[in-house]
Amino acid sequence: MIPLLSGAQAGTWISTVASAGQDPTVVSRVSEILNQVRERGDLALAELARRFGDPPPRLLTLEERQAGAAALGEDERQVLERAAANIRRFHEAVASSLGPVRVEQSEYSCGMRLQPVARVACYAPGGRHPLPSSALMTGLAARAAGVVEIVLVCPSPHPAVLYAGELIGAQSFYQMGGAQAVAALAYGTETIPRVDMVVGPGNAYVAEAKRQLQGVIGIDMLAGPSEVAILADSGAEPAWLALDLLAQAEHDPDARCCLLSWDEALLQAVSEQIQFQLARGSYPDFLRQSLNCSALLRLKDLEACLAALDRLAPEHLHLAVADPLPLQDRLKHYGGLFLGYHSTVPYGDYMAGPNHTLPTGTSARFSGGLSPLTFLRPQCWLHVPGPSPRLSQDTALFADLEGLHGHAAAARARLTDQPLNHQEP
């Protein structure tokens, strides 16, 4: 059951979560998989599929994709369509707020434009449950950025994921998964063209493959098991908080959830509600494992809670307090922020519009959630239409300061339009 910790125990739990590292066994096994795929392509993919008990990787035909999507019920199709509309609207609004930059100086002009990558693979995990939400979140953000070609990859082509592929306009759908799928997309094989980026969540092996291949391909982030941190005051509803914790804990056995408060009575009531909800709800068998890794944390006061939250830098941060808006500017490190008693994290997981692909493992300290910005490359430019004495002289002086006299000579040569005096060799 989820432990209730205070004092030194709470501090130890926070420190442990904030300093968690990579599993060396996963690192080694993924490195071996990547090498096999790089060296032997499709043959290695087939062998790895047999070893792991997976179906052989393959490209689904358009007929297979359409037939699979047609098996989805009408209510399910409509809710996916509504989610897609909200997600598309949000990400198109983000993209429309961006634009080229131009700076005019007396001797020159310079600027920057945002250019989308050309070919992106969106990874939708298979695992225990189909995740069409991952396909929608990644694919629609890429579309809003102007990505031309989207490849959808999933180990199990559930009808909901196939229909999500239609909604994002995926040009191709590969049935494959794991670290080997990321390797195939990064290196290319005889039958799988390489991509420019791989985005989307996955298990520890998928995340480690993305980490090792970053630089060969672009990635969105290194997303690990789901996390939620909830800050609650005495006005929060214990049953709601219990359900919010259970909702994130049901993602996988390694999911980590915590509730922070200075109100011990509230924490005790939430603990009791968790027991009650577990007895009456339908939750996976592993839930107790993820709850054992989670915690109800009683800290001294609001200030202590805020400090702890910035140390945790959680994927999802829910402020279940009466007046959350003044706290927004005081918190710096989180993936997604949910403001107020009613702003449950599942709204963001599926329907509201903002992306649910968020940084985990304290990486919110230096990265943000997936958005159209993920797929845009800033490309700077400079135009000097004629002689520019100040720019030339200052550049030459700076280059001499660094001892790069060739740079200085190239700048000085452009002080005028006059040709240089050349001597015959």
State how far the Cα of 171 lies from the Cα of 407, in Å rounded to an integer.
Answer: 47
Of 316, 342, 405, 422, catalytic:
316
Strand order in the sheet with 336-339: 4-6, 295-298, 256-261, 227-232, 316-320, 336-339
Give the tokens for residue 245: 């914790």
Cα 264 from chain centre: 34
Of 208, 315, 318, 356, catalytic:
315
State how far the Cα of 200 lies from the Cα of 223, in Å rounded to an integer.
Answer: 8
DSSP annotation of 191:
S
Active-site residue flag, 303: no
132 close to 163: Cβ distance less than 8 angstroms: yes
19 close to 286: Cβ distance less than 8 angstroms: no
Contacts of 379 (CB under 8 A, 6+ apart): 112, 113, 114, 115
- The radius of gyration of the chain's CA atoms, rounded to the nearest angstrom, is 26
Three-class SS of 130-154 = CCHHHHHHHHHHHHHHCCCEEEEEE
State how far the Cα of 374 lies from the Cα of 42, in Å rounded to an integer.
Answer: 29
169 close to 91: Cβ distance less than 8 angstroms: no
Active-site residue flag, 333: no
Residues recognised as catalytic: 315-316
